[in-house]
Amino acid sequence: MRITSIRAWGVELPLREGRYSWSNDNFVDLFDSTVVAVDTDVGLTGWGEVCPLGPAYLPAYANGARAGIREIGPALIGLDPRELGRLNAVMDQTLKGHPYVKSPLDMACWDLLGKSAGLPVATLLGGRHGEDFALYRAISQEAPEAMAARVGAYRAEGYRKFQLKVGGEVEADIARIKACPKVLEPGDILVADANTGWTMHEAARVCDAVREVDVYIEQPCASYDACLTIRRRTPRPFVLDEVMDSLDMVVRGLADGAMDAINLKIGKVGGLTRARQIRDFCVSTGLAMTIEDSWGGDIVTAAIAHLAHSTPEEFRLSATDFNSYVTRSIAPDAPRRIAGRLAAGSAPGLGVSPDVDLLGEPVIRL
């Protein structure tokens, strides 16, 4: 099997709630996703997707993804997409850094590997653990009472894990964190995700004020060292996300005792190949994970589902289903949440068949 061509589309994903807000007054009203098709000489096509959370979250942006695919794509023509180690080495040799650019290409080749083998990607990643798995719901930053009301509404839909977007003004964030447990029940999980939005003194104030609340603190500050300082000052369980962008950083964080769990974003680390490496290291060392991506639609949700479903339950803090946050679907066979839970598909590969008519004309043909 050889790669014969690569196509890509820009896909707009409107939000069901109209706007998604997080730290430092950041927000998006519309997600700009990039969908990739990798075609082969045996008639199989693999699908991938990457969707940065706007240009002000991580060093990633939608037009950069498409520019990077134009740069990397020609070097992949003629390669066997099933040889994922070699494929990633060629991408790294062709373009230094920019892992998010490589993620949809790697994802599409996992899809092809599964289709070629006649197996779902979850099987290739280690096999399913359980019939399905629990999802978290991200709660966009609003007034404390509004956020608590959203938690209550999503809990009624079956969710039991909630990620509050904080990282704003200290008193308001303390009020947000204290308001939401009032609508929860024992066993529910609450995470206060600052998305790097606090300085150290602000993070110290918040953590001290909520020390009696059953809440996880996630990525309070922008730098690893600042987060480590706060970690050593709070008894609350601690999650790192934005700074956990490679296996090296996970190894460092584990050695420093910097976190109790990480957020493993597929696009942030460069695709399913490297996400699996990090996942397996975390399982081997006893570190829990929330498995997700920066954002996305049907294809990203399918990739998350396969990685999460193949992760042992005791190390799966949570996962997410981004296609339930948006109003546009491009793949009718993509996995869908049921009562706050999700399962990976059983069809070969990622199990998604995007409707090309819905996608329109590709913006990239290689």
Helices (H), 2-98: 62-76, 84-94
- For residues 250 and 236, give the distance between their C-alpha atoms in angstroms, rounded to a whole number: 20
The verdict on whether 265 is a catalytic residue reads yes
Distance (Å, rounded) from C-alpha 149 to C-alpha 137?
13
Q: Provide the 3-class DSSP secondary structure of residue 16.
A: coil
Residue in 102, 115, 265, 268 annotated catalytic = 265
CA distance 196 to 282: 23
Dump strand ranges (E) for the chain. 3-14, 20-21, 27-28, 30-40, 45-50, 133-134, 136-139, 161-165, 189-193, 216-218, 238-240, 261-265, 288-292, 316-319, 341-342, 364-365
Residue 165 is a catalytic residue = yes
Encoded amino acid at 340, one letter = G
Of 102, 115, 165, 268, which residue is the catalytic one? Answer: 165
How many Cα atoms are found within 13 Å in the side-chain-facing hemisphere of 256? Answer: 19
CB atoms within 10 A of CB 201: 9
Task: Tell me which residues are annotated as active site.
Answer: 165, 265
